Amino acid sequence: MDENNEIKGLDQNKDVDELLKKYDKEESSKRNVIGTIGLIISIIAIAMSCFHLYTSFAGTLLAVKQRAVHLCFVMVLAFMIYPATKKASKTKVPWYDYLLSALGLTVFGYLIVNFEGIIAKGGTPETIDLVFGTLALLLVLEVTRRAVGPELPIVAIIFLLYATKMGPSFPGLLAHRGYSFARIISHMYLTTEGILGTPIGVSATFVFMFILFGAFLDKTGVGGFFIDLAYAMTGSLCSGPAMTAVVASGFMGSISGSSVANTVTTGAFTIPLMKDVGYKPYFAGAVEATASTGGQIMPPVMGAAAFIMAEFTGIPYIKIIGSAAIPAVLYYVAVGTMVHLEAKKLGLKGIPKEQLPKVGTVMKDRGYLLIPLVTIIFFLVRGYTPLFSAFWSIVVSVVIAIGASLIKKNKSFSVKIFISALDAGAKNAIGVAAACAAAGIIVGVVTLTGLGLSIANLIVQLAGGKLFLTLVYTMFASIILGMGLPTTAKYIVLATMAVPALLTLNVNLMAAHLFILYFGVVADVTPPVALAAYAGAGIAGANAMKTGFQAIKLAIAGFVVPYIFAYNPALLLIKKGTQVVNGNIVYAGVGEILMVIVTALLGVICLASFVENYLVIKSKIWERIPMGAAAIALLFPSFTTDIIGFVVLVAVFMLQKVRSKKLGANAAV
């Protein structure tokens, strides 16, 4: 890449690390331990990755044992890597964290060693079970507090209190008979309904392997390749650097598990470029944050939620990502359209082609980096499990990296890099695993008390049985819960608490789960807790709140599209009026799917024009309002409204074309 295109005055590695520590809760609290202890921590992390690689190849252990081993590693690593407070040393591990690591290893190791004895008890806990179970709960809450922040542990504690003998004192539908301390501890520790429930089960298999896969991709340079490829594809457009941010963040976000990390890593390159060509700092930060957040709804990884969704719904993973693809593309089309219209409105110019890398050159030099991604998609489409697919894609990524290093003779991949990928993969998985364990406590309370059904009935009652109001209430609940929780945790909580309300009103199962995921994700750019937007503002040097509100405008499709597929799941490729039965989906006809896709695309273009107040030229008020109406008409499926919306779009386009020519003629005179 040309030297002129390098980021001016930006030490990328240094600034990326600092911004991640500032805005990413996991990164902000990590220790940087060196020396013998640092080496021991890395050895444990590498052993964790090797364990998961082995079980994904040879077959996983019994569910309880697989999850318990996973948590043993998590407990030991978490207490060594994450300090108790912000003021605690970031370079040394204090004695009490060694003790907590040992306790974590003991309480979950007990489940492995004494597995047969626990089964023989038939669910009747002994004193040691209650002691270890209590310690397990406390350790999970503390690990989660350290790794992902206090919000999720606080929610989990509230749920635990709800499960106690206080149950009968709750009003109306929320009341229950209440449970003893022993019953709660037994349910949470000795069964697969609590800490060792579905969330940690998915973390101990699919999620870990995909995080490890992401670590290998990162170490082989896929991130830089995506940015250069997007830059080459879009840099010459008038919206060049901003469109680069949209495309690159879509690429990265599809395999990344964090909106904030994606914002910082790609934004360190794209935001300064956007500012250089004339975008306002707050707009540049908002573009990157919005595009990066969209990665959480973009297949194949979807912030790891897709794997948990497959477990919760019984729908095969490949069908979930197939259905989720079109709404995700619509989201990015809307963001890209607004970015382009903003550039046209400001009269910006793209970067001269001679200063850009060529697509052919980028693909020729590093196109082989796409092979692991193609491999994983191939295996998934062929019907192999995500675990099998992730394992062999890691193998392929290593083989490809070694081959490229030997052919190019540049030492781009070595044993050291391989080991560092194993190390990074395990450490990156700790936060997700901790969140899943804590979320398991919440799910455990729901299954124990029947709270999910009570909440569902309460939401439906408040909405008066009206679907639209139920969707609105669910949307607000999803955004509020999503503000303080990581993607996996917010999805688990919402799937347990909010989805039953939608299912009561016959919303399609897939649509209901994607609905709550969308609104949980857009919380990352919704003030007052818009961490991705604030990270973008930090890079851009812009006002945080202004960047956050601009990000909401850019992410408007994320607020609208879920309502479309809630009413008509054809956008998810599913036939309207059908439900998912035993994981089987009744697909809509090709004609219906194409009609919904085309009208939705036109709808998001109208929506972008309405928000940006621009189409061909700046819109008059009598053009802008009809464009907003046309967006609604096109987005909510109906033959009549589609025709009306299309006619309005064409009419406004023609009016602005004529007005643009007149303005051009007057300027010439």
Does the pLDDT at position 123 exceed 50? yes
Q: What pLDDT is attached to residue 414? A: 85
Task: Let me know if residue 485 belongs to a domain.
Answer: no
**Residues above pLDDT 90, as percent of the chain:** 37
Q: What pLDDT is attached to residue 667? A: 39
Confidence of residue 64 (pLDDT cuts 50, 70, 90): very high
**Residues above pLDDT 70, as percent of the chain:** 93
> Residue 71: which of 391, 389, 438 has the closest Cα?
438
Task: Let me know if residue 229 belongs to a domain.
Answer: no
Give the three-state DSSP class for 90: coil
Q: How many domains does the chain have?
A: 1
Q: Which residue has the higher pLDDT, 1 or 206?
A: 206
Q: What DSSP string runs through 569-605? A: GGGGTBPTT---BTTB--BPPHHHHHHHHHHHHHHHH
Cα 381 to Cα 378: distance, rounded to the nearest angstrom:
5
Task: Let me know if residue 62 belongs to a domain.
Answer: yes
The residue count for the chain: 669
* Average confidence (pLDDT) over 540-554: 90
* Residue tagged 């089987």 (tokens): 584
Confidence of residue 3 (pLDDT cuts 50, 70, 90): very low
Q: Which residue has the higher pLDDT, 192 or 24?
A: 192
Number of other residues whose CB lies within 10 A of the CB of residue 65:
17
Q: What pLDDT is attached to residue 514? A: 94
Q: Of 242-246, 321-325, 439-443, which gets the smallest average pLDDT?
A: 242-246
Q: What pLDDT is attached to residue 664? A: 66
Tokens of 555: 């992410």
pLDDT digits (tens, 9 = 90+) for 478-516: 888 777 677 778 888 888 888 988 998 889 999 999 999
What mean pLDDT, rounded, does the chain reach? Answer: 86
pLDDT digits (tens, 9 = 90+) for 578-616: 888 777 888 888 888 888 889 989 999 999 999 999 998
CA dist 224 → 15, 266, 364 (Å)? 16, 9, 15
Tokens of 273: 């470029």
Per DSSP, helices labelled H in 498-638 are: 499-504, 509-521, 531-540, 544-554, 556-567, 590-612, 621-635
Q: Of 159-163, 413-417, 488-492, 572-576, which gets the smallest average pLDDT?
A: 488-492
Q: Of 217-221, 285-289, 528-532, 555-559, which gets the smallest average pLDDT?
A: 528-532
Tokens of 410: 């540049």
Q: Are 490 and 199 in contact (CB under 8 A)?
A: no
* Average confidence (pLDDT) over 534-541: 86
Task: Let me know if residue 47 belongs to a domain.
Answer: yes
Q: Are 482 and 528 in contact (CB under 8 A)?
A: no
Say what the pTM is.
Answer: 0.83
Cα 439 to Cα 153: distance, rounded to the nearest angstrom:
9
Residue 151 is part of which domain span?
9-197
* Average confidence (pLDDT) over 207-220: 87
pLDDT digits (tens, 9 = 90+) for 305-349: 788 888 888 898 888 988 998 999 999 999 999 989 988 888 888
Please provide residue 618's backbone torsions phi and psi, each rounded to the nearest 5 degrees. Answer: -60, 135
Per DSSP, helices labelled H in 347-385 are: 359-366, 371-381
CA angle at 175 for the pair 192 and 510, rounded to the nearest 5°: 50
Task: Let me know if residue 77 belongs to a domain.
Answer: yes
Task: Let me know if residue 407 belongs to a domain.
Answer: no
Q: Write the single-letter amino acid at 57.
A: F
Q: Are 603 and 617 in contact (CB under 8 A)?
A: no
Q: What pLDDT is attached to residue 16? A: 58
Q: What pLDDT is attached to residue 1? A: 40
pLDDT digits (tens, 9 = 90+) for 374-415: 898 888 878 788 888 889 999 999 999 888 888 877 777 888
Contacts of 253 (CB under 8 A, 6+ apart): 259, 262, 291, 292, 293, 294, 295, 296, 298
* Residue tagged 């934004």 (tokens): 267
Q: What pLDDT is attached to residue 260? A: 77
Number of other residues whose CB lies within 10 A of the CB of residue 39:
11
Confidence of residue 22 (pLDDT cuts 50, 70, 90): low
* Average confidence (pLDDT) over 74-93: 90
Q: What pLDDT is attached to residue 196? A: 94
CA atoms within 13 A on the CB side of 242: 35
Does the pLDDT at position 10 exceed 60? no
Does the pLDDT at position 200 exceed 50? yes
Q: Which residue has the higher pLDDT, 268 or 303?
A: 268
Task: Let me know if residue 58 belongs to a domain.
Answer: yes
Give the three-state DSSP class for 614: strand
Q: What pLDDT is attached to residue 282? A: 92
Which H, E and C letters describe 376-433, residue by residue? HHHHHHCCCCHHHHHHHHHHHHHHHHHHHHHHHCCCCCCHHHHHHHHHHHHHHHHHHH
Task: Let me know if residue 160 belongs to a domain.
Answer: yes
